[in-house]
Amino acid sequence: MLDPTSSTEVFRVRGGAPLRGTVTLSGAKNSALKLMAASLLCDGPLELSQIPAIADVPVMAELLRGTGVEVDLDLGAGTCRLEATDPHPQPPADAVRRIRASLSCLGPLVGRLRRARLALPGGDRIGARAIDLHARGLEAMGASVHHHPGEVEVIAPDLHGAMITLDFPSVGATENLLMAAVLADGLTVIDNAAREPEVQDLCRMLVAMGANIAGIGSPTLEIEGVERLAPVRWETCPDRIEAGTYAMAAAVTGGDVVIERVRPADLTLPLIKLRAAGTVVEEGGSSLRVKADELAPADVVTLPYPGFPTDLQPQMMVLLSQADGTSRCTENVFESRFSFVHELARMGADIEIDGHHALIRGPARLRGATLAGLDVRAGAAGVMAGLVAEGETVVRDVHHIDRGYARFVPRLQALGADIARVPASEFDG
Ligand code: UD1
């Protein structure tokens, strides 16, 4: 499942079967990777559970090992034990470049060691994804930031608290500044901070480790630096994006799916939009039941949390392509996130793009196609499109999907989907 050569495999999807049954999810990708990076802040051992079996996790483990952290990862059990007794400031460039989330090591290294040297990370290709907000915040805290070719170096012998107002509530910048601030001298205030549930999860774990953070879940975080943090055991929060993806897949196929280990409160706006689109959603304490028959049009605007997540936008577009009427979708977070639309249009979707707005006319009859070069969320959306298309869809570059969705194929198969992971060579030539 986590075969690094997975780009030599494809997903073959045959449309038509409604998804039915129960799927139980694990912890959130966007939380787990940051919790792992936070291990750099104390000499451990940090014991994490509900770590998802996704491809980015072993890369983060390798990166941390290369930074001097002892890492004991058990993907089968979903546990990770990390002990950063004597870390050094320069994570290995090859691992750093493989995942965007490696940038999350910058803040903890600066907090713990007062310096860091990091290759510029990779990950999805969904926009410029600059690091200017990270750099400006660290500079306000007394750091000097040097840009070398393909690398950033931060030196901060006198790291201190500061008043920081972010231009945009960036998830990554909020987390990095937070992780530097917990061990800085004095008070840091981050205004216009990101409020995503995964940011809150990180804040709560840091508090459990002894950090002093007020305003968790609000746009203003106040962090009073402490001398040191202590190790804890922590359970990663559920993956709202994975849950939203299965919910939309259930709805678009006219299915009936129960999703277990979800926090419905993290999905308030996606659930409002699913209901507006004609889906019946029943909320339990930690579960959702999603059923749909006739889909209706809806309008969606992506925004930082609690807005509609950009990470569910491609999946929502697939859903709306099957609704009876015209829907509108506006993307405000990542400038190039509509690139998936061209693939969907090749399958027969009727979508008009004007800048960061899209007009979706449904219901469109989708036909199977070969889809390539999609990022993690667009890849999942491509699979969803395949589940409702006539004939066979081949999704290539599935290593992207493996970065964000644990056991995607077996979980969909268990829900009745006709999907298989097969060697790409079967479709070459
Ligand atoms: C995180 C998530 C990603 C999600 C995104 C928005 C992880 C590993 N990834 O990404 O799945 O789609 O939040 O919810 O958690 N920006 C700048 N300068 C900066 C930082 C960001 O201009 O210094 C811009 C980016 O180019 C982008 C926007 O801000 O247009 C959002 O970025 P950000 O919130 O930082 O996303 P990530 O943390 O990269």
* Residue 170 CA to ligand 1 centre (angstroms): 5
* Residue 101 CA to ligand 1 centre (angstroms): 10
* 29-232 CATH fold: UDP-n-acetylglucosamine1-carboxyvinyl-transferase; Chain (3.65.10)
Ligand 1, closest atom to CA 334?
30
Ligand 1: residue of 29, 239, 333, 375 to mutate (most ligand atoms within 8 A of CB) is 333
Q: What is the pTM of this model?
A: 0.96
Q: Which residues line ligand 1 (CB under 6 A)?
A: 30, 33, 100-101, 127-134, 168, 170-173, 310-311, 333-334
Strand partners, 395: 11, 371
Q: Residue type for 148, please? A: H
* Residue 135 CA to ligand 1 centre (angstroms): 14
Kindly calculate the radius of gyration of the chain based on its CA atoms and give it in whole angstroms.
Answer: 21
| Residue with CA closest to ligand 1 atom 13 | 171
Which residue numbers are catalytic?
124
Beta-carbon contacts of 133 under 8 Å, excluding residues fewer than 6 positions away, are: 166, 167, 168, 170, 173
DSSP letters for 175-240: HHHHHHHTTSBSEEEEET----HHHHHHHHHHHHTT-EEE-TTSSEEEEE--S-----EEEPPB-H
Q: What is the pLDDT of residue 5?
A: 43
Rounded to 5°, the CA angle 46-122-165 comes to: 70
* Residue 85 CA to ligand 1 centre (angstroms): 30
Residues of the chain falling short of pLDDT 70: 1-7, 122-129, 429
| Residue with CA closest to ligand 1 atom 17 | 130
| Residue with CA closest to ligand 1 atom 28 | 333
Ligand 1, closest atom to CA 135?
23
Q: What is the pLDDT of residue 127?
A: 43
Q: What is the pLDDT of residue 120?
A: 84
* Residue 418 CA to ligand 1 centre (angstroms): 34
* Residue 98 CA to ligand 1 centre (angstroms): 16
Angstrom distance (rounded) from CA 111 to CA 42: 10
Ligand 1, closest atom to CA 310?
12
Q: Residue type for 135, please? A: A
29-232 has the same fold as 9-26+238-427? yes
| Residue with CA closest to ligand 1 atom 38 | 172
Ligand 1: residue of 132, 168, 336, 405 to mutate (most ligand atoms within 8 A of CB) is 168
Overall CATH class of domain 9-26+238-427: alpha beta
| Residue with CA closest to ligand 1 atom 34 | 170
Ligand 1, closest atom to CA 304?
14
Q: What is the pLDDT of residue 357?
A: 96
- Three-state DSSP at 114 gives coil
* Residue 96 CA to ligand 1 centre (angstroms): 17
Q: What is the pLDDT of residue 130?
A: 81
The residue ranges of every structural domain in the chain are 9-26+238-427, 29-232
| Residue with CA closest to ligand 1 atom 4 | 311
Contact 406, 26 (CB under 8 A): yes
DSSP letters for 244-292: HHHHHHHHHTT-EEEEES--GGGGHHHHHHHHHTTEEEEE-SSEEEEEE
Ligand 1, closest atom to CA 168?
29
| Residue with CA closest to ligand 1 atom 12 | 311
Angstrom distance (rounded) from CA 137 to CA 181: 10
